[in-house]
Amino acid sequence: MIKRGEKYFIYLIILFFSGLFLFWFLHNPVRSFAESVPGLDNRPVKATRGDSTIIGEFFNRLDSTTAITGLSGQWPNFRGKNFDNIYRENIRLIDKWPSEGPRILWEKDLGEGHAAAAIFNGRVYVLDYDERKERDILHCYALTNGTELWRRGYNVKIKRNHGMSRTIPAVNEKYVVTIGPRCHVMCCDAITGDLKWGIDLVRDYNASEPLWYTGQCPIMDQNVAVIAVGGKSLLMGVDCETGKVVWQTPNPDSLKMSHSSVVPMTIAGKRMYVYNALGGLCGISAEESDRGRLLWMTKDFSPNVIAPSPLYVGQNRIFVTAGYGAGAALFRISSNRGSFGAETLQKYKPSEGMASEQQTPVFKDGFVFNIQTKDAGATRNQFVCASPDDFRKLLWTSPAGERFGLGPYMVADNKFFILNDEGEVTIARYSTKKFEVLDKARVVEGQDAWGPFAIADGMLILRSSKKMVCVDIKAKP
């Protein structure tokens, strides 16, 4: 039998826990929280498009005294002159970073993003976004010391979306062409910065802004800008001097613009532009006789997000890959009396073979090199090598302790240069047999160092999300 005192004690315990339950049930632990809404941080409240953008309306000539002479190195568009991320100048590069640290020549603060540089005969071109002025700005710097020579821009509203800039200009001796985050194409004189023309792909050609804004980098082919529209036209060529559209490819299947870029290739004896659009992979004639004609298309690999560009891997084969679970595929292009077709040779998920989320792999000496996606299972973020004969079989990987991220990599002077997300550059010996680290060092402060490399005259340009640096990597005599 329970004594009276024990009853009171039990009642007190029940009362205590009942009160505790009511407190927990009624208490709102986040009632003091303030909702974070656009505008509270004094940044743009929201992005609106409108048709008020006047492409190229602002211009500043900042320096006319700096002499740009004696430099002939060129990295004229994304992935370099041959679109392969291989540096071919006859300049010996460092095997190890200097004991006193990387030789930084200059650095620039940029708007948050991943836009990268193109280099032509001593000039550096970068399309940045100025968040304070709400403006796309094309900067032209001197390669040797970073002196800004001129800038040209235009107003456009953008909100943060995994960075606000992510493209690379295309430049030759006469013109520089850019594509801004919201599909504004601009062409300027490469030396003076004088505006040639501008095109709004959304307003004028019914293009759709890709998720996270434009990632496509323009290319130039004999003074014609080649642009993937994915609207009224699939692709089109624009004369750089006049701005006149000189050819267009119809788009009956309504393919959309992806983050991938157009790559010129010669396949089955035919020169063509290969583009991995949202909705299908296609080849368009780049030859004068029928330039702009759609040669072939396949929808057998159609992810919702595509960043890497198509990669030619020999024997009329094209390797395509994408992130977010898409994996990769290998196609063979065939021709028969002027008719072309695409045959699927391999298609697999990222855990089953080589796959990339953001950067385009490198093909050299019959092998393909890549950083694996984050959903690649045991090889997640490792640097790997495979043969195009079987992308499911990895020939070697970097050690488990040597993992990278979404940053770029390239081959230069028989070495791999690999940038991780935190701005550290690893120098590894180029090999088709194994991965061998020579040295590594932090080169740029910041994070999300995803913008592609540019290199010319032994000077390497790289960036984090908010800072760009130029570092001298020439070996000392």
Mean pLDDT by 10 residues, the chain (477 residues): 66 71 53 42 44 91 87 97 97 97 98 97 97 96 97 94 91 98 97 98 95 95 97 97 98 96 97 98 97 98 95 98 96 95 98 97 98 96 98 97 96 98 98 98 97 98 98 94
What is the model's pTM? 0.88
The pLDDT of residue 44: 38
* Token code pair at residue 9: 């004690």
Residue of 205, 212, 140 lying closest to 181 (CA atoms): 212
The pLDDT of residue 288: 95
Three-state SS annotation for 103-134 = EEEEEEECCCCCCCCEEECCEEEEEEEECCCC
Q: Is 18 helix (H, G, I), strand (E, B) or coil?
A: helix
* Token code pair at residue 36: 């974070």
The pLDDT of residue 10: 73
3-class SS shares of the chain: helix, strand, coil, % to 5: 5, 40, 50
The pLDDT of residue 51: 61
The pLDDT of residue 211: 87
CA distances from 334 to 264, 282, 337, 338, 366 (A): 17, 13, 10, 10, 20
The pLDDT of residue 23: 60
Residue of 343, 334, 326, 330 lying closest to 258 (CA atoms): 326
Question: What is the number of other CB atoms lying within 10 angstroms of the CB of residue 244?
Answer: 11
Q: Cβ(401)–Cβ(411) under 8 Å? A: no
Sheet holding 135-142, edge to edge: 58-61, 148-155, 135-142, 123-130, 118-120, 74-75
Q: Tell me which H or E stretch contains 203.
A: helix 201-205
Residue recorded with tokens 């298609």? 347
Question: What is the number of other CB atoms lying within 10 angstroms of the CB of residue 21?
Answer: 10
The pLDDT of residue 69: 85
Distance of CA 257 to the CA centre of its chain: 14
The pLDDT of residue 66: 83
